[in-house]
Structures are given as C-alpha cells and as structure tokens.
C-alpha cells in the first residue's frame, strides 16, 4: 500500500515526522511537504513562480521531498510528477498543530492537502492536534489516525472517503474515545494588532478569538474539548439547493420584456392558469378570423390603438351574431385581467 503524506507546518515539523513513522507500519510512505511553514494558505496553488523540490534528510536519512509551495501544490505535484501520475492508496495531511474544526476548514492548509487527495478520488484524511505548541507530543494523534484509517481501508467502497480527524492535546490514557461529529458553526472575532517597528513605522499582526456555540449538538469542537477524538466525514456541495429553486423566477426577467408580435408568435403563456389559457386561445382565434394581422407593434401608441380597438368594440352589423358574442367575451376577459397597456401582457 502506498501512502502519500503532506502537511502545512513544513517538512521539518514534529507532526509530520511522527505521522510518517507510524504509517510505515501500514505500507510504503512517501512524504511530500512544504519546505517552510504554510499554515492558513487554504487551497491555494502556486502559479506566479516556478515550483522546485529537493530531497529532505533527517539525521542523514532520506525522509521525503520538500517543495516551495502549498500543501495542495504538494499533493498535485507528488502524484503528477514524483509518482509519475500513479495515485497512492491513501493521502494523509498532518499532524497539524492547532485544531481544524468549524470555520477553520476554510483557511487550513492541512485540510486543503487532504481535500486535494479527495478531489482526485483517493481516500483522504486530515489529522490535527488541539495544540498550537510545535513541541507538543503528537504520538496519540498519530496512533488514533492509524486506528481510524486502518478500519476505514477495510471498506469495499473507499473512493468518496474524506475524514477530518481532530485529536485532543492529551495523552492516550486520558482520551475518552472517538466521536463521529458534525462540523461546528464556529467563527473568528478578528482583529489586527498594531505595533511599531524600531523605525517608528506601523505594522500589524493578525489576531482573533475563536468562538463556537457549545450548545450546538454533536459538533467537532465540543467533542475535542471533552477529550474525545472528533471524526467528521466531509463532502463538497457548493450549490444551495433550496435557494436554487427559489431563484428560478429570475430566469424570466428578460424573457418577452419587449417582444413583438409576429405571424408565428402566440399570446398564450403556458405558465398561466388553464382558464386564462383557454381565453387566450379564443381571443387568438377571433383575431385570426377578423384578419387582424399580428404585425410589428413596437411603438406604444400602436399598442394602445390596438388595445382600444379590442377593449372597446363597437357593434358591427356586418359581423355574425357569433362573432359579436365573442367580442363581448373578449371584453370581459380583458377587464377581468386588467390589461390596460399592452396586448403582449395578456
């Protein structure tokens, strides 16, 4: 089994080293990670400069490949170039320092690394530790990740597997177990802290407070705070399906706004109630019998002229009684529908 591992804290991070060592028990591990810290780079790709990669060694032993790009770059480049377009069986991203829960998924480079694997149809897992201390012990996180991935890989259908794993910053004996959770509705109360450099110039550090509703049911943040390992299944569906239906009416905004009547056109609107459609058909029939040609009627005065002619018919002794009765019916329909400006609004 071939396992591709990346992260966003950089290839020298204790988190990725611990994870790689643990997963060597499962199969052939290849590490392709950013050469430097790339936290909060989200799913960015490098397009404005060339990508370069180098072999990375730890204590004179080959560990993996360091790339001057983002975690998403690393996964793409690893599969298309280093692995020569041969997909690995698993993509892992982590262990990240700092939980990737709630809204953090939008910003996380670690999560993006796993996302890239998922988009390529590979079972993918993002692994994070709830501690921002880069010296934190990641052993428990690596062990729980191993347990979860081992179990998942026994499934027959693994193509759509994408799990976000968050582990409490605690030793294995203090972790209560695993909870399958939802992504929380968290947010950041952001600020930019202003400071002054030695030359008297202003500069700013991004800062903020992470907020979530502890009363929200079955969420990742609450599980981690209660010393459970949070496992959240992830999928991507960007379309708001409810609003999609509500917005259907916008498709008609420009339709027939200034449409002219031609010989082939019809005054029947299929979206109207049936009784209106029947009346429209009768009107159209009478107009044809009376040889009122549907020529171009763009000028407003011509529309009004035709409208008056139809809306206020005078008795015509040359017409048959049947046509006179139909004229009265037309007048009634027009009055009921309050058509006062344009024949095209019938």
Per-residue model confidence as pLDDT tens digits over 211-248: 989 889 999 999 999 999 999 999 988 999 889 988 98
CA distances from 261 to 161, 337, 338 (A): 56, 20, 20
Alpha-carbon distances of 31 from 1, 80, 227, 228, 250, rounded to whole Å: 14, 14, 29, 28, 49
pLDDT in tens, 236-284: 889 998 899 889 888 888 766 544 444 444 444 555 556 566 666 766 7
User: Which pLDDT value is given to residue 214?
Assistant: 83
Residue with tokens 């048959």: 320
Read off the pTM: 0.72
Q: How many CB atoms lie within 10 A of CB 82?
A: 16
CA 1 to chain centre: 31
Residues 300, 306: Cα–Cα separation, whole Å:
10
Integer Cα distance of 103 and 32 in angstroms: 26
The mean pLDDT of the chain is 84
Express each pLDDT in 127-169 by its tens digit.
999 999 999 999 999 999 999 999 999 987 887 899 999 999 9
Domain ranges of the chain: 2-236, 244-346
What was the pLDDT predicted at 286?
64
The most distant pair of C-alpha atoms in the chain lies apart, rounded to whole Å, by 111
Task: Enumerate residues 6+ apart whose C-beta is below 8 A from 192.
Answer: 204, 205, 206, 207
Neighbour count for residue 329 (Cβ, 10 Å)? 14
The Cα–Cα gap between 220 and 186 comes to 10
pLDDT, tens digit, 9 for 90 and up, residues 159-170? 789 999 999 999
Report pLDDT for 311. Answer: 46
Please check the confidence at residue 309 and state whether its pLDDT lies above 50: no
d(CA 304, CA 343): 8
Question: pLDDT value at position 156?
Answer: 76
Q: Which residues pair with 177 in a beta bridge?
A: 228
Question: What integer pLDDT is reported at residue 342 of this predicted model?
Answer: 44
**254: its two tokens:** 């420009």
The tokens 């035709």 sit on which residue? 306
In this structure, which topology does domain 2-236 adopt according to CATH?
Stationary-phase Survival Protein Sure Homolog; Chain: A, (3.40.1210)
Distance CA 346, CA 344 (A): 6
User: What is the CB-side half-sphere exposure of residue 345 using CA atoms within 13 A?
Assistant: 11
């Amino acid at each position: 089994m071939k396992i591709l591992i990346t992260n966003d804290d950089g290839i020298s991070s204790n988190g990725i080293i611990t994870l790689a060592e643990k997963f060597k028990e499962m199969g052939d591990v290849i590490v392709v990670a950013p050469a430097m810290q790339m936290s909060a780079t989200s799913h960015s790709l490098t397009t404005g400069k060339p990508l370069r990669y180098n072999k990375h060694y730890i204590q004179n032993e080959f560990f993996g490949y360091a790339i001057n790009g983002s975690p998403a770059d690393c996964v793409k480049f690893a599969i298309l170039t280093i692995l020569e377009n041969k997909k690995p069986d698993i993509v892992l991203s982590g262990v990240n320092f700092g939980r990737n829960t709630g809204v953090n998924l939008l910003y996380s480079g670690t999560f993006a690394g796993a996302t890239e694997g998922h988009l390529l149809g590979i079972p993918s897992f993002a692994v994070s530790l709830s501690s921002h201390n880069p010296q934190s012990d990641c052993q428990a996180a690596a062990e729980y990740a191993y347990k979860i991935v081992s179990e998942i890989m026994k499934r027959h259908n693994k193509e759509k597997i994408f799990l976000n794993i968050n582990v409490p910053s605690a030793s294995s004996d203090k972790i209560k177990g695993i909870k399958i959770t939802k992504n929380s509705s968290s947010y950041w109360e952001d600020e930019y802290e202003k400071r002054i450099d030695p030359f008297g110039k202003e500069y700013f550090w991004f800062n903020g407070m992470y907020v979530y509703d502890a009363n929200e049911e079955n969420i990742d943040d609450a599980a981690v705070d209660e010393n459970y390992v949070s496992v959240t299944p992830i999928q991507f569906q960007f379309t708001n399906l409810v609003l999609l239906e509500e917005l259907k009416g916008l498709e008609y905004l420009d339709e027939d706004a200034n449409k002219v009547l031609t010989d082939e056109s019809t005054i029947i609107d299929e979206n109207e109630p049936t009784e209106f459609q029947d009346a429209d058909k009768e009107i159209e029939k009478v107009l044809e019998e009376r040889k009122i040609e549907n020529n171009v009627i763009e000028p407003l005065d011509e529309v009004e002229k035709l409208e008056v002619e139809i809306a206020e018919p005078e008795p015509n002794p040359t017409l048959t009684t049947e046509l006179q009765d139909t004229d009265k019916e037309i007048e009634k329909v027009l009055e009921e529908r309050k058509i006062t400006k344009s024949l095209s609004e019938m």
